[in-house]
Amino acid sequence: MLESLYLNLGQHDALSDAEKALLVGAMTFERHFATGQDIVASGSRPTYSTLILDGLAARYKVLEDGGRQFTSLQVAGDFVDLHAFLLKTMDHGIVALSPCHVVFADHSRLRAITEEAPHLTRLLWLDTLVDGAIHREWIVAMGRRSKTSHLAHLVCELFVRLQVVQRTNGMSFHLPLSQAELADVIGLSVVHMNRVIGALRKIGVVSWANHTVTILDWHKLQEIAEFDPTYLSMTREPR
Amino acid sequence: MLESLYLNLGQHDALSDAEKALLVGAMTFERHFATGQDIVASGSRPTYSTLILDGLAARYKVLEDGGRQFTSLQVAGDFVDLHAFLLKTMDHGIVALSPCHVVFADHSRLRAITEEAPHLTRLLWLDTLVDGAIHREWIVAMGRRSKTSHLAHLVCELFVRLQVVQRTNGMSFHLPLSQAELADVIGLSVVHMNRVIGALRKIGVVSWANHTVTILDWHKLQEIAEFDPTYLSMTREPR
DNA sequence: GCCAGGCATTAACATTTGTTAGAAGACGCT
DNA sequence: AGCGTCTTCTAACAAATGTTAATGCCTGGC
């Protein structure tokens, strides 16, 4: 059941069978969320962390004027709120952007892992560190890239992350985001989001229809995005 | 010597004397960096993590067109590259924005801490999680706040963080950043950065001269920024 | 005290991005 | 098939932000 988690953690360093067993042992019940449902509410103090088995979810904050900003996208194999294990209080919400199948890991059992399984603890820590690295890359994209480059970068990142957990299909992947939602990822108005998608299409590096993105020219896309996957730490080495 | 680190980690949960001793034991040599010097180079694979004892530093990335974006500001008591302990390869650089006094913690000794001191490990992990929370707040600011609000938010955040490590002076703090550097924090041109600072001054919530920021109206500043310090996890509770 | 260079500030203009509004298309429901 | 609703896409205009350039200020070196 935890295949996607093994793929995710395992891309950084080898996972032993004992460690896999500990992860399985940390899981409690499963649940399905419908598109648009909140998986974790802002301000809550969860006693479990949520692992996505399938689907797409996002962290977000809402401002007083109603503006919404997504701060991360989470795919299969991602813990959406592993940080809440130590941060305790959620300062943001997490919403399902597609039907999501998730499983909950008890904080008390995660704590036991930190007491007894140092290597696995480091891998879980690392998982949150990669989260941070992705955040930094997003900050760079928001601050200093053109919007076209930003979108191209997002496509590169999602493609690579989805590939790791075997959710790509050739050079295509499913991206169940409306343009309004995408605008809340990039930090744009819907109208301009539409212009930017149009620009990428016009250049001919991606086709984008029916919530399916197909990369037509990976090399050129990567060039536009200045995409360097180093920040995703995809090399397998002792950690 | 590690007072600022104790203040930083200790704001989240109590630190025992044994834990303080472990931290002291992890430290190797100290060093001073001049303003503008790189503390950690992008692409390097450090075998130690760097703790700031005094000074201001920043993580940054540089794009092909020469554009620079800071992804975080680091103050006394912050580990600037604790994440490199597990990420291994630096995907960004770290530069001193003022004269910096730092001390290096050996990765092998940090690793020993993860093997033997679970609670301290969780506190170090937490430190990197707060880093991530700050990143998310920056993403929200870049994507959905007005530039004035973004700057106000930054001032609020820095004031609170500096207060924790006792680097404020009443309602003032030292901010040794040129407007060009500040522009690389917010993601603006220098000219517009100047306009935005002018706007905050005009509203009368801060005075800003000689690299010293004085908050004249905290309540109003917080309101403009929609600043809610929850994300900094400043409550002391079992972790 | 004088000079050079960096920094802050302003102006004028160009470009990007947002807003409002509406038309056309897609999609589920009955 | 028909309907309503959400989504995509466009247009026209408004506002925010970037660019280039010039000015004056301040500070450190001589």
CATH number at residue A116: 2.60.120.10
Same domain, A91 and A181: no
A197 touches strand D (CB under 7 A): yes
* Mean per-residue pLDDT over chain A, rounded: 96
Q: How many Cβ atoms sit within 10 Å of the Cβ of residue B235?
A: 12
Nearest chain B residue to A69 by CA: give it.
Answer: B140
Domain boundary residue, one of A134, A168, A199:
A134
Q: State whether A33 and A85 are in the same domain.
A: yes
Residue B239 lies in a domain: no
* Together in a domain, A39 and A125: yes
Residue A153 domain boundaries: 147-232
Give residue B54's pLDDT: 95
CATH of residue B208: 1.10.10.10
B118 and B197 in a single domain? The answer is no
Of the residues B109, B134, B159, the one at which a domain ends: B134
Q: Are residues A12 and A45 in the same domain?
A: yes
CB distance B135–A135 less than 8 Å?
A: yes
Q: How many CB atoms lie within 10 A of CB B66?
A: 7
Overall domain count for chain A: 2
How much is the average pLDDT of A68-72? Answer: 97
Domain contains B95: yes
A128 in a structural domain: yes
Question: Residue B141, CB, less than 7 Å from strand D?
Answer: no
Q: To the nearest 10°, report the CA torsion of B76, B82, B88, B90.
A: -30
| Beta-carbon contacts below 8 Å between A and B | 143
Q: Do A233 and B126 touch (CB under 8 A)?
A: no
- Segment A50-69 shows an average pLDDT of 96
Residue B44 is predicted with a pLDDT of 97
pLDDT, tens digit, for every residue of B62-106?
999 999 999 999 999 999 999 999 999 999 999 999 999 999 999
pLDDT tens, position by position, A3-28: 999 999 999 999 999 999 999 999 99
pLDDT given for residue A92 in this prediction = 97
Q: Percent of chain B at pLDDT above 90?
A: 99
User: How many Å apart are B182 CA and C19 C1'?
Assistant: 29
SS3 state at A208: strand
Q: Does a structural domain hold residue A140?
A: no
Domain boundary among A134, A156, A180: A134
Which residue of A126, A132, A143 is in closest CB contact with B132?
Answer: A132
Strand A100-106 with B68-74, pairing: unpaired
Q: Which pLDDT band, with edges at 50, 70 and 90, does A182 fall under? A: very high
* Stretch A214-232: mean pLDDT: 96
Contact criterion met (CB < 8 Å) for B86 and A140: no
For the segment B123-144, the average pLDDT, to the nearest whole number, is: 98
Distance separating alpha carbons of residues B61 and B217, to the nearest angstrom: 34
State which H helix or E strand residue B198 sits in. Answer: helix B190-203
> What average pLDDT does the segment B5-14 reach?
97
Instruction: Answer yes or no: is A175 within a domain.
Output: yes
Q: Are residues B127 and B146 in the same domain?
A: no
Residues B59 and B124 in one domain: yes
Q: Look at residue B238 and tell me if it is in a domain.
A: no
Residues B117 and B157 in one domain: no
pLDDT in tens, A45-57: 999 999 999 999 9
Kindly state whether residue B190 falls inside one of the protein's structural domains: yes
Q: Give domain status of residue A142, yes or no.
A: no
